[in-house]
Amino acid sequence: MTAHLQPQDTALVIIDMQNDFCHEDGASAKRGLADIAAFQACVPKIDGLIAHARAAGVPVVFVYMTLDDTTKSEAWTNKHGSEMSIVVKGSWGADYYKLYPQPGDAVVEKHRYSGFIGTNLDLILRSMGCKSIVLTGVLTNVCVESTARDGFMLDYNVTLVSDACAGSSPEAHAGTLANIASVFGTVLDAEQVGAVWQAAAAPVEASA
């Protein structure tokens, strides 16, 4: 189950850990759209994975979402309404929540659920020689699942980290985990993924 986690061809992808989704003063919390506590609980899990990834030489990719008048299509507003204000480009709500890119990390801005739609994520991953992606972030059943599906369709080995992502409800979260494990990839927890990268980093640290 850990064959597709090797540092030389794997990237850690962090999806939409932003104030409007995760902060108690963000848009999602104010509208009662999701269990913010579950989103916040992902932070230490993702932070630990980032540390293991960097130690093992695994590329870290931050994917974040923004919206403005140029990216809200008719289909988007028909579904979500023209007055819905969330992750507005340049706003506090679109800023990162507690987890921030460091020099050398890749950063991808998206305007739809999937990190692959209308972005250079695929180009970045292929340029780094990545064949596998490890997905974390929010929401499990929306942006994370959309990215996982498209990643698999683009021939990446997909691993979803069960306790480093959170959905709009426990049921929605569980449904995505089952769907990914059945059809689109592998589901592991943060300890399992971290153990592989920690073991990979050990020889490097020992020889330093």
Read off the pLDDT of residues 57-110 as tens digits, 9 standing for 90 and up: 999 999 999 999 899 889 988 888 766 689 999 999 999 999 999 999 999 999
Q: Which residue has the tokens 């921030």?
A: 100
Q: How far apart are CA 163 and CA 46, in angstroms?
A: 9
Catalytic status, residue 143: yes
> Considering 22, 42, 130, 143, which one is annotated as catalytic?
143
Catalytic status, residue 110: yes
> Considering 20, 45, 110, 150, which one is annotated as catalytic?
110
Q: Which of 176, 174, 132 shows the shortest CA–CA distance to 156?
A: 132
52 with 194: CB under 8 angstroms? yes
CA dihedral of 69, 75, 78, 82, whole degrees rounded to 10: 0
Catalytic status, residue 72: no
Read off the pLDDT of residues 45-56 as tens digits, 9 standing for 90 and up: 999 999 999 999
Q: How far apart are CA 162 and CA 191, in angstroms?
A: 10
Helix count and strand count (H, E) for the chain: 8, 6
Predicted TM-score of the model (pTM): 0.95
